[in-house]
A and B are shown apart, each in its own frame.
Chain A
């Protein structure tokens, strides 16, 4: 039930051409500067077709994702996937932002619920959720495919974007998550990006489950830059378990006193884990690509992709 809308973005063009695609991730922070994001974008550009720009992940009040989404495209020439959550904006604000994004030439939007405000760094904020993420996809379809807003008011000019959603293959129980994705895909979704995956069997099971919805899916991976990050992930990100052998491998690297050597060791552990992971996905599943969340760890792209792509 893939939406019949045209491929407006390079990302969706490449997916539809049958290419195995890679996307990256950029994270604006609590800053007014864009130097770091631009450096990251520059570093990943040779490897990815597009990069997601996160929208206040974990409900942290960071820089608005639209600005870096635009600047990265303009300055670096790397297409972006503009992430938008419904947590901080009512339908009017969503419509405004999408109109602005269309003007700025944004071609991909990822419609998200967003982590709840009580998890964030300004916990007293009023959570909005005027629309949920499915209703946001519905709104986007109206704007893109029909040229009207939610109430049916006509839009002057065109909104030419492709729509993505996130999926959580780690969800337990999985069935309501799968059914929900089916419900959403029916509203006009061009691609799916999954949350971080470490378990290849779960990836396979999930992709099998959603195959009937016929929506291109990119599997999310999160290369681990240091033992600290790996340990944090394992302990504090609910529903995500870093496999024992990977965690142990990372632990062994952390005692290497020489910084450069330590970096090389970490990289090797990641390559040893993710190289076969990606190969297996390419060989045995119908995944459309990989979403590589190597935030501030762009140096891993080259060695990781040398043999997998």
Chain B
């Protein structure tokens, strides 16, 4: 899931300040689960912004153009009238709505990461979408995401009692976790394996997936 946090309300006020008519779009998927852009949060935001809000809608998945088209059909008039669209969804949702509406878009949320949900309100960074997954080699623990230096051949000298030098030794060192897991699975040969430098040009060029 894409994990988001709501921006401070003062920031949202500042962003919306230049516009007299604002339409708010929420997300029925990830941002609903994060409690940052579901029905409830959209209604709350409309209440706080008051009169300038000309309409609201929660799109099932605002990052999908087809669903924007479907779920915003009933709001065509209000959207047309709006000077700007405040989007309570991830950055991808915001940009898809910019494409769909052609309007000025304002991000109401900060997009944090692709995360694991432990329970509502507890989310953990798990994937940086590197385009070349190696979880098979690392015991299902992603070093690109969870090692603060994204090392492919860790651990570094900064781990103390299994904790990482980044974050005041509160977070687990990903490479100690990987070592433990591979040892448990009797696959330490994978830990010993040298992983050569990555070809970052692949990721740089990986900006679209076009299958048809």
Minimum CB distance partner of A150 in chain B? B197
Q: A134-B194, A176-B179 are in contact. Are A113 and B149 (CB under 8 A)?
A: yes
Count the A residues whose beta carbon is within 8 Å of the partner chain — how many? 38
- The smallest beta-carbon distance between A289 and chain B, in angstroms, is 20
- The smallest beta-carbon distance between A275 and chain B, in angstroms, is 27
Q: Are the C-beta atoms of B179 and A179 separated by less than 8 Å?
A: yes
Asked if A138 is at the interface of the complex by the 8 Å CB criterion, the answer is yes
Interface code A19-40, partner B: CB below 8 Å = 1, 0 otherwise?
0000000000000000000000
Asked if A67 is at the interface of the complex by the 8 Å CB criterion, the answer is no
- The smallest beta-carbon distance between A170 and chain B, in angstroms, is 8
Interface code A128-146, partner B: CB below 8 Å = 1, 0 otherwise?
0111111100110000000
Partner of A180, one of B149, B154, B161: B154
Residue picked from B148, B151, B156, most chain A C-beta under 10 Å: B156
Q: Contacting chain A: which of B39-47, B103-111, B162-170?
A: B162-170
Cα A239 to Cα B169 in complex, Å, equals 11
Q: Are the C-beta atoms of B148 and A183 separated by less than 8 Å?
A: no
Number of A-B contacts (CB under 8 A): 92
Cα A134 to Cα B157 in complex, Å, equals 12
Q: Are the C-beta atoms of A238 and B149 separated by less than 8 Å?
A: no
Give the residues from 157 to 212 in chain B that come closer than 8 angstroms, CB to CB, to chain A: 157-162, 165-166, 169, 175-176, 179, 183, 188, 191-197, 200
- B196: A residues at CB distance < 8 A: 135, 138
Q: A179-B191, A183-B194, A186-B194 are in contact. Are A135 and B153 (CB under 8 A)?
A: yes
- B166: A residues at CB distance < 8 A: 116, 118-119
Q: A176-B176, A183-B192, A238-B169 are in contact. Are A171 and B197 (CB under 8 A)?
A: no
- B194: A residues at CB distance < 8 A: 134, 138, 183, 186-187
Cα A182 to Cα B192 in complex, Å, equals 8
- A127: B residues at CB distance < 8 A: 148-149
Q: Are the C-beta atoms of B153 and A115 separated by less than 8 Å?
A: no
- A177: B residues at CB distance < 8 A: 155, 157
Q: Are the C-beta atoms of B197 and A238 separated by less than 8 Å?
A: no
Give the residues from 182 to 240 in chain A that come closer than 8 angstroms, CB to CB, to chain B: 182-184, 186-187, 195, 238-239
Minimum CB distance partner of B193 in chain A? A183
Give the residues from 70 to 87 in chain A that come closer than 8 angstroms, CB to CB, to chain B: 87
Q: Are the C-beta atoms of B156 and A133 separated by less than 8 Å?
A: yes
Cα A171 to Cα B162 in complex, Å, equals 8
Partner of A138, one of B158, B179, B197: B197
Asked if A257 is at the interface of the complex by the 8 Å CB criterion, the answer is no
Asked if B150 is at the interface of the complex by the 8 Å CB criterion, the answer is yes
Cα A265 to Cα B195 in complex, Å, equals 50
Cα A132 to Cα B194 in complex, Å, equals 11
Cα A120 to Cα B175 in complex, Å, equals 22
Q: A139-B197, A173-B176, A183-B194 are in contact. Are A195 and B157 (CB under 8 A)?
A: yes
Partner of B160, one of A167, A182, A183, A238: A238
- A166: B residues at CB distance < 8 A: 157
Residue picked from B150, B155, B157, B188, most chain A C-beta under 10 Å: B157
Besides A118-B166, A182-B192, 9 new A-B residue pairs in contact (Cβ under 8 A), listed by A number:
A130-B200, A166-B157, A172-B161, A173-B179, A179-B192, A180-B153, A183-B153, A238-B169, A239-B160
Q: Kindly list the 4 A-B residue pairs having the minimum CB-CB distance in the complex, ordered from nearest.
A: A134-B153, A176-B179, A239-B160, A168-B157
Chain B: residues with CB nearer than 8 A to chain A? 148-162, 165-166, 169, 175-176, 179, 183, 188, 191-197, 200
